[in-house]
Structure 1
């Protein structure tokens, strides 16, 4: 079990399905994810995600539901 270092700096990342996560800045951003420009401690990054990611469905599901409902 690892304990988070309170001094660890994170960046908020998003994937092509518009799903969010946080990633330590001392690691390269993983393939398939891009930084959104928010950097800070864990609490700051998670607070951003909480207020931004209000619909947790993957992008392709939202698009499929929208096209089904428009027919």
Structure 2
């Protein structure tokens, strides 16, 4: 089954990423990071940019404790 939907990569305030169909309105709390393409292209982009899966609030708290 071929997925020919165009996607965009979204990111929220916690630095978490998601794929979202371009045709759909971006949900509250999310913003486009500027990357669009096929599903695999978007997944590859997320793999490149989302290197720390911890939410930003946790990253900051842990950095402050060290």
TM-score (norm 2): 0.95
Q: Is the aligned partner of 1:37 residue 2:42?
A: no
Aligned-CA RMSD value: 1.1
Larger radius of gyration: 1
Aligned length: 66
**Could you say which residue in structure 2 is the equivalent of 1:9?**
6
Where does structure 2 lack aligned partners over 5 or more consecutive residues?
Answer: none
Q: How far is the alpha carbon of 1:6 from its aligned partner?
A: 1.6
Structure-1 separation of matches of 2:40 and 2:62? 33
Query: Runs of 4 or more off by more than 2 Å in structure 1?
Result: none
TM-score (norm 1): 0.88
Where does structure 1 lack aligned partners over 5 or more consecutive residues?
Answer: none
